[in-house]
A and B are shown apart, each in its own frame.
Chain A
Amino acid sequence: MTISKSCPCGFHATSRFCPQCGRELRVVSKASPWPTVGQRLDNLDPPLTLRARCPAPMGARRLRADAGARRFDVFITPPSDPEGALVERQRARAKLGERLLPSVSQDHEGLIYEITELPKGQSLRALLEANVEAPREALMGLLTRVFRPLLGLFAELHAQGAFLGGLDPDDIFFMEGEAAEGPLEVALLAPPRVHVEGAQASARPKLRQTTPGFSAPELYGRCRGGLIDARADVFALGMVLYYILAQRPTLFEAGDCQRRLPSPRVYADAPPDLVAVCQRATASLPLRRFADARALFEAFELALTVTDARRRGCSLPLKLDIGHELHIGLLKGQFTPQNQDDMFLGWQEDARLGLFLISDGVSISDYGSGEIASGAVRLEASRTWARLMGEEAPAKPPPSIATLEDRARVLRRMLNRANHRIAALLHQEIPRFIGPPEGIMAATAVVGLLKDNTITLAALGDSRIYLVRDGYIVSLMPEHNFATQLMQMGQPPAIARQVQGANALVRCVGEFEKGEGDRLKPVLLQPEILHLNLLPGDTLIFCSDGVPDYAAWDEEEAEARICAEVEEADDALTAAFELMVLANRGGGGDNISCIVLRCYTEERRA
């Protein structure tokens, strides 16, 4: 034992603990029974060099080791196994059997070494890290070759009434299978424990080894008093799907924050049907998730089928059932008589051409007001529709909408003309604009141009476009607020959502800069564009934020209720009415507007 009289904090004392920083001043040199990183164990077969320590249960150590080019996982316990770590691991081995990598047990210096040789394939973490930089075309391959077999493994386990309580991507390995392009073979290291559904032992919250970025909120004690079931595995699998779809490095806060994760579509152009499945799997409350991996497997397979069908497009001509509602909002109406939401709806069944718009005026503006801004967007939509119909005076040939890019161009032009219209309105009143351009009236816009079975969507601001299908709902466009922008720049969601002005719009119709002579110069708007092949059974909802913000107390629940209302309604008109009622029942604190489009074919409707 050595005695140090000076503490690193600079304080000098003779007591055991530093009175200033509380640190122990006596350094006790005790021989640790555990081997350390860097140590070479020549008596083992093969002789191993310990390289890095891994998370392990209480009363055990786990290290990664190597012997030349071969890599090993080493699990070490004393023979007395004081915390039962070895017993739990043996139980897990008995339950998972062939799925586990084989291991050998050796005694060395009074400890039991369970040595597992790691396969040549890649670990799940390595695959997910490589996916961040991979081209988007690799997505389907990763889903079918990696995610599907992993999901199958957990579905088998859950079918036996057992679950792991999460996964560690460093402990799961994928090897090439028999078929060159077929699914990869999956094998895993023995998990610390296999829980049995309903068993008292698995229901008691204990000290947990969590894997940041993959562990469910209940593993952090956030739900149900820390109790876990198969839904903890569903969350972990959902996170794997999330990283595949979002092409994003691990979000360490996943599971350790109360709000749900941002949609994978915030980070990458992911198939909406798969995003909907992913969001349900990673719901923050266990009861909102799939009951087990089997249910997730079924939903995943269905979403893959729909994604494939959507890519190919529907060969039959789709028909539309359209409903819409515009309401001031029960509470909002008590404070302001103006409804700042506006909408436009144009549908030509013979030409199978439609234009749908929801615009929500920004309530706080120093120059002009929200309803004038949203009105300007509506007028431009009306004008665009007239041009598309060839009804514009003086007569001009209608703009081409033959290709997807043509349609996107029409929508971009429409929104930019609305921007110019707002500037023109202001110039009439204020020829020389002195104040900051941020104070000028503005509006959000979500707009869809439907031609045949394909809809081109454009969005600016935080109004929403939802796709509802088969009991799932997904928001198609990211919200253009400060928080989303920060997330896209790489900030963790928890930090991005807490910054001042997180909900402030960063993109909208009504963006200007100052030109010569203090004249306002409209900024060229670049709305978010998405082309979507519609299928029979799809429902699209265009709505202002007054619907989801007041439909329930949180986003997840609001979307679940919107989905339920729309799916239960007999027709689109009733669905739109029910959405308006839903938002008003929740308080009606904002203007409410929505357009509901239901797609069907004659056979399907019959």
Chain B
Amino acid sequence: MNALHLDWLADPPKLPADTPRLDLTFKLDLRVDGQAPHAPLVIAVGVVGEMIGAPSRVLVGLRDAIREALDDQDRLILLGEEAPSPFDFKGALSAGAEALRRINPEFNRRILLLVHGQELISPGSYEILTKQGIGLDVITVDPDVEQGAFVRFAALLGGEAMAVNPESALSLAEGRARALKAARYPGARLTLTPLGPTTLQRLYRLSPSPVFLGDIPEGPVSLDLGPLAPPPSWIITAELPRLHVGLYEALAAELTWLEKGEPRVERQTLLLESTAEAAELRAVRADVIAARHLAQATAWPEEILMALRRADGRQIIRTLDASLQHFLAFEAFDKASEIEGLRVRFLRRGMLRFQDINRLRRLLASVTTPPL
């Protein structure tokens, strides 16, 4: 039988008497070239505030398909009667969401899911959790499977995806679940809506770990804040058309969370002033650009995967070269030499394994900059 199993961890901490508010910070880099029709805009959004909120309940779920690979099954209990298919990731999420439905929404609810990694993932399947304000972390027990989709899913729901060997999966899951139990604001979400002249392009999570979240479709973007330690932040690339002198609304941000069961909202509007002063155009936000480089690099494993599908070796080499340069620029020499090895291996064999891509993804996510 294939099923989702769960384990309730120890009692969560008590709700603090007076929970403080959350707030947002913005940092921008906007470079205007007098000739270009559009100006690239980089927006760094961060969450600030006291990182203590409501207690958490963490559901640790295990797919039957990987049970045999793990040695300790006693602490895991059956989640539901209806077993989803072994390759149905959405079914596993639905079962988890159903199990957490009865938990008081004042509590922070998260699922930590152990999967073998070969599940079929359809875009949008995470919305089951989004609607209920449930966060997600994923542990895949086969390091040889492509992990990108899990990384993006988990990041969109404020979590992390990790790949481990079956032997260390349970201990990792337990450690992670305890860390997640640290309280946070339940249902905390950030919604970003482009206004006026702004066209949003790509979205990256910068912290807790950099992840490329994808191209931004038209309309608002909704993000789960996840655990607030370290404080989450995102990088958004956008562009602006040439603007007349004046003040413009560029972006609306809405932060929502539950405080003592009551919904709280913090709204901010990002305003841009277009001036005629050339001197104003030379202000470069170096820390935002550095953060953008870090975040942008996390899209490269996806680009390599696409190039592998197209058998576009030249693009793969270009992307590996860019990764190598990236590590050198951030003076991560050991990582640079790993990429050089990968590059030569690809030139010799003409192929890369999923394990290599996962390794590249982890390496790229491990470079950090000073906090924004």
How far, in Å, is A338 (CB) from chain B's closest CB?
A: 20
Contact in complex: A287, B331 (CB < 8 Å): yes
Nearest CB of B to A88, in Å: 16
A residues 260-316 near B (Cβ < 8 Å) are 285, 287
Q: Are the CB atoms of A221 and B287 closer together than 8 Å?
A: yes
Query: Contacting B325 at CB < 8 Å: which of A62, A553, A587?
Result: A553
**Complex partner residue of A210 from B282, B288, B320, CB under 8 angstroms:** B282
Across the interface, do A207 and B285 meet the contact criterion of CB distance under 8 Å?
yes
Q: Which residues of B contact A206 (CB under 8 A)?
A: 286-287
**A430 vs chain B, min Cβ distance (A):** 32
**B282:A212 contact, CB within 8 angstroms:** yes
A-B contact pairs, 15 of them (CB 8 A): A17-B248, A22-B250, A23-B243, A53-B278, A62-B279, A205-B286, A207-B283, A211-B282, A221-B284, A222-B290, A225-B294, A287-B328, A287-B331, A331-B348, A554-B325
A588 to B288, CA, bound (A): 39
Assuming the A-B contacts A205-B370, A330-B348, A589-B347, are A225 and B247 also in contact, with contact meaning beta carbons closer than 8 angstroms in the complex?
no
B92 at interface (Cβ–Cβ under 8 A)?
no
Q: Could you give, for residues 317-333 of chain B, a 1 whenever the CB lies within 8 Å of some chain A CB and a 0 otherwise? A: 00011101100111100
Min CB distance, B271 to chain A, in Å?
A: 8
Known contacts A55-B279, A221-B293, A585-B344: does B246 contact A23 (CB below 8 Å)?
Answer: yes
Whether B286 and A209, one on each chain, are in contact in the complex, defined by CB atoms closer than 8 angstroms, is no
- From 296 to 339 in chain B, residues with beta carbon under 8 angstroms from any chain A beta carbon are 320-322, 324-325, 328-331
Q: Which residues of A come within 8 Å of B, CB atoms?
A: 8, 17-18, 20-24, 27, 53-56, 62, 204-212, 215, 217-227, 258, 285, 287, 330-331, 550, 553-554, 585-589
Q: Which residues of B are at the interface with A, using a C-beta cutoff of 8 A?
A: 29, 195-198, 243-244, 246-250, 271, 277-279, 282-294, 320-322, 324-325, 328-331, 340, 343-344, 347-348, 369-370
Question: A184–B289 Cα gap in the complex (Å)?
Answer: 38
**Are B249 and A225 in touch, CB under 8 angstroms?**
no
Tell whether, in the assembled complex, residue B279 and residue A53 are in contact, meaning their CB atoms are under 8 Å apart. yes
A225's partner among B282, B287, B328 (CB-CB below 8 A) is: B287
Could you say which of B250, B290, B344 contacts A226, with CB atoms under 8 Å apart?
Answer: B290
A22-B248 in contact (CB<8A): yes
Cα separation A223 to B332 with both chains bound (whole Å): 11
Chain B residues near A17 (CB, 8 Å)? 195-196, 248-249
Q: Residue on B with the closest CB to A587? A: B347
Q: 5 tightest A-B contacts by CB? A: A22-B196, A221-B289, A587-B347, A226-B286, A225-B369
- Whether A224 contacts B331 in the complex (CB less than 8 A), given A23-B243, A53-B277, comes out as yes
Do residues B248 and A24 form an inter-chain contact, with CB atoms below 8 A? yes
Residues of chain A with a CB closer than 8 A to B278's CB: 53
Among B288, B322, B328, B343, max chain A CB count under 10 A is at: B328
Q: Which residues of B contact A227 (CB under 8 A)?
A: 370
Question: Once the chains bind, are A224 and B283 in contact (CB under 8 Å)?
Answer: no
Q: Which residues of A contact B369 (CB under 8 A)?
A: 205, 225-226
Question: Which residue of B is nearest A253, CB measured?
Answer: B33
Chain A residue nearest to B248 (CB atoms) is: A22
Cα–Cα, bound, A20→B289 (Å): 29
Most buried by B among A21, A209, A226, A553: A553
B245 to chain A, nearest CB (A): 9
Known pairs A22-B198, A586-B344 / 17 extra A-B pairs, C-beta < 8 Å: A17-B195, A23-B246, A24-B271, A53-B279, A55-B282, A205-B369, A208-B285, A209-B284, A217-B329, A221-B285, A221-B289, A224-B331, A287-B328, A553-B325, A554-B325, A586-B347, A587-B344
Asked if residues A208 and B247 are in contact (CB atoms below 8 Å), the reply is: no
Complex CA distance for A599 and B161, rounded to whole angstroms: 59
Contacts of B196 in A (CB 8 A): 17-18, 20-23
A210 to B320: give the CA distance in the assembly, Å: 30
- In the bound complex, residues from chain A placing their C-beta under 8 Å from that of B249 are 17, 22, 24
Contacts of A21 in B (CB 8 A): 196-197, 248
Decide: A221 near B286, CB < 8 A? Known: A22-B198, A226-B369, A287-B331.
yes
- The residue among B29, B196, B286 with the most chain A CB atoms within 10 A of its own CB is B286
Question: Could you tell me if A224 and B284 are in contact, using CB atoms closer than 8 angstroms?
Answer: no
Q: Does B195 lie within 8 Å of A225, measured CB to CB?
A: no
Knowing A17-B196, A205-B370, A222-B289 are in contact, say whether A24-B247 is a contact too (CB < 8 A).
yes
Question: What residues on A are CB-neighbors of B277 within 8 Å?
Answer: 53
Q: A221-B286, A226-B286 are in contact. Are A23 and B248 (CB under 8 A)?
A: yes
Of the listed residues A54, A62, A207, the one surrounded by the most CB atoms of chain B closer than 10 A to its CB is: A207
Q: Please report the C-alpha to C-alpha distance between residue A554 and residue B318 in the assembled complex, in whole angstroms.
A: 10
Cα(A137)–Cα(B196), bound, Å: 56
Q: Which residues of A contact B348 (CB under 8 A)?
A: 330-331, 587
Measured between C-beta atoms, what is the minimum distance from A69 to chain B in Å?
25
The reply to whether B293 and A222 form a contact with Cβ atoms under 8 Å apart is yes
Complex-state Cα separation, A331 to B347, whole angstroms: 7
B370–A225 contact, CB under 8 A?
yes
A residues less than 8 Å from B294 (CB atoms): 225
Q: Which residue of B lies closest to A211 (CB)?
A: B282
Nearest B residue to A56 via CB reads: B279
Q: Is the CB of B247 within 8 A of A23?
A: yes
The minimal Cβ–Cβ distance linking B25 to chain A, given in whole angstroms, is 14
Partner of B329, one of A8, A62, A285, A585: A285
Residues of B within 8 A of A22 (CB): 195-198, 248-250
CB distance from A11 to the nearest CB of B (A): 11
CA distance A56 to B277 in the complex (A): 12
Least distance between A327 CB and chain B CB atoms (Å): 15
Shortest beta-carbon distance, A224 to chain B, in Å? 6
Whether the Cβ atoms of A553 and B340 lie closer than 8 Å is yes
Please, which residue of chain A has its CB at the minimum distance from the CB of B269? A17
Distance, CA A406 to CA B224, complexed state (A): 75
Residues of A within 8 A of B198 (CB): 22
Q: How far is the CA of A398 from the CA of B174 in the complex (A)?
A: 86
**Bound form: Cα–Cα A436–B246 in Å:** 55
On whether the beta carbons of B247 and A218 are closer than 8 Å, the reply is: no
Most buried by A among B279, B284, B330, B340: B284
> CA separation between A474 and B198, bound complex, in Å?
45
Name B294's closest neighbour in chain A (CB-CB).
A225
Which residues in B have their C-beta under 8 angstroms from that of A210? 282, 284
With a cutoff of 8 Å between Cβ atoms, the chain A residues found around residue B321 in the complex are: 553-554
Residues of chain A within 8 A of B246, CB atoms compared:
23-24, 27
Q: How far is the CA of A212 from the CA of B33 in the complex (A)?
A: 11
A220–B29 CA distance with the chains assembled, in angstroms: 10
Shortest distance from the beta carbon of B46 to any chain A beta carbon, whole Å: 15
Contact among B29, B195, B329, B340 with A224 in the assembled complex (CB-CB below 8 Å): B329
